[in-house]
Amino acid sequence: MYDVERIRRDFPILGREVNGQPLVYLDNGASAQKPQVVIDAVMRAYSHEYSNVHRGLHYLSNLATEKYEAVRGTIARFLNAGAAEEIVMNSGTTEGINTVAYAWAMPRMEAGDEIVLSVMEHHANIVPWHFLRERQGVVLKWVDVDETGALPPERVLDAIGPRTRLIAVTHLSNVLGTRVDVKSICRGAQEKGVPVLVDGSQGAVHMPVDVQDIGCDFYAITGHKLYGPSGSGAVYIRKERQAEMRPFMGGGDMIRDVKKDEITWADPPMKFEAGTPGIVQQIGLGVALDYLMDLGLENVARHEARLCDYVRSRIDGLNWLNVQGTTPDKAAIFSFTLNGAAHAHDISTVLDKKGVAVRAGHHCAAPLMERYGITASARASFGLYNTEAEVDALVDALELCQDLFG
């Protein structure tokens, strides 16, 4: 049984007040709060177990290396990767996608080659591909969402042409909450020999992920949305793709040998992990993923689906509220504007006065904003510790906004 009140007690920050009101934290899409076990793990690592990894022969270096490397296995288990070596650890999704762009895509793409993207991508899954457009004349092919904000796999597959070299698509939209059937996209793309990168920054938070079942080539996650520390993360890179990659960044740890006129690389995944990594962040991420797996991703997803239904029941019929993204199977992420003059920033400010934390702006998804004909929206994004009472607090605060601005 999913006991949300007990779970909330694991997150110390949820007990605080903001502006004299109990905190209602609905900005999980930007970054999630941390359970005490993660905070303790970070404290413990710095207090008792800290040293640099991979390099030393002394006790603490071995201990830190053991703890750090164990996380690779935890991430592999979390994503059901075929081997821990397919996990490249990094600072988050942005670094993961840039790794793929620089180390895999750039060396193999030429002017006129195409990358297929959806209009609902986060800038982290847009800007690295613009680098290839600017530098190498690679063409970005955009696939639109339908009127509900869904992305039917056929639309993506229909965009594949003879010059398509990659599909880069989100698993779950950070604005609309739309889930994407990436498994069908991967199956269709594979038949045409096109690799697929999945931006799992949001997807891995809201549903169980099995990269082998999905059949993707790359899957990027970010630790701070997974209830882990900021600056932690990983990208799953299928073995065959790793073999095609040159290194991304150069430095310590990613080489086998360096001579004055010659260099040999370490084997993957170290080949893609230059320099001292986020040791403690990554150790914290391992604990966060264990915490999530103990709760059960299916249980979390069921809880969030119930919240999603409850939000819908509360906002259905509020004709002054425009919600972007109405697919039935969406995750509990609600972006909205109000009829009338209220700017998203004004909405967020009023909500904040009531203790309700939401995000306002373009959500790093400018092409999607353009698609909806808006410059900004407010976004309430729910997590594993949110409650129906918090949905009520959100709706009460929105009604206040409507009274003020409507």
Q: Which residues here bind ligand PLP, judged by CB under 6 A?
A: 92-94, 122, 124-125, 170, 174, 199, 201-202, 222, 224, 364
Minimum distance of ligand PLP from residue 137's CB (angstroms): 25
Minimum distance of ligand PLP from residue 274's CB (angstroms): 18
Which residues, other chains included, contact 6 with Cβ-Cβ below 8 Å and sequence gap of 6+? none
Q: Residue 264: beta bridge partners?
A: 257
Minimum distance of ligand PLP from residue 130's CB (angstroms): 15
Helix axes 59-79, 279-295, angle to 10 degrees: 40
Which residues, other chains included, contact 30 with Cβ-Cβ below 8 Å and sequence gap of 6+? 225, 359, 381
If one counts every other C-beta atom within 10 angstroms of the C-beta of residue 23, the result is: 17
Give the distance, in angstroms, between the CA of residue 296 and the centroid of all CA atoms in the same chain: 18
Minimum distance of ligand PLP from residue 294's CB (angstroms): 23
Rounded Cα distance between 247 and 255, Å, is 10
Pick 226 or 356: Cβ nearer ligand PLP: 226
In terms of Cα–Cα distance, which of 218, 209, 214, 26 is closest to 125?
218
Give me the amino acid identity at 360.
Answer: A
Instruction: Map residue 245 onto helix, strand or coil.
Output: coil
Give me the amino acid identity at 253.
Answer: D
Minimum distance of ligand PLP from residue 125's CB (angstroms): 6
Pick 92 or 383: Cβ nearer ligand PLP: 92
Q: Give the catalytic positions in this structure.
A: 364
Pick 100 or 350: Cβ nearer ligand PLP: 100
Q: Report the chain's C-alpha Rg in angstroms.
A: 22
State the chain's maximal CA–CA distance in angstroms. 71
Give the distance, in angstroms, between the CA of residue 194 and the centroid of all CA atoms in the same chain: 23
Minimum distance of ligand PLP from residue 271's CB (angstroms): 21
Rounded Cα distance between 142 and 132, Å, is 15
For 246, the token pair is: 């040159």
Rounded Cα distance between 389 and 182, Å, is 33
Q: In angstroms, how far is the first alpha carbon of the chain from the final one?
A: 41
Minimum distance of ligand PLP from residue 306's CB (angstroms): 23
Pick 224 or 354: Cβ nearer ligand PLP: 224
Pick 224 or 271: Cβ nearer ligand PLP: 224
Which residues, other chains included, contact 109 with Cβ-Cβ below 8 Å and sequence gap of 6+? 115, 132, 136, 138, 165, 166
Report the DSSP pairing between strands 196-199 and 164-170: parallel
Minimum distance of ligand PLP from residue 28's CB (angstroms): 10
Cα dihedral 106/112/116/119 (nearest 10) = 100
E strands along 205-350, which residues?
218-222, 233-237, 255-258, 263-265, 321-324, 333-338
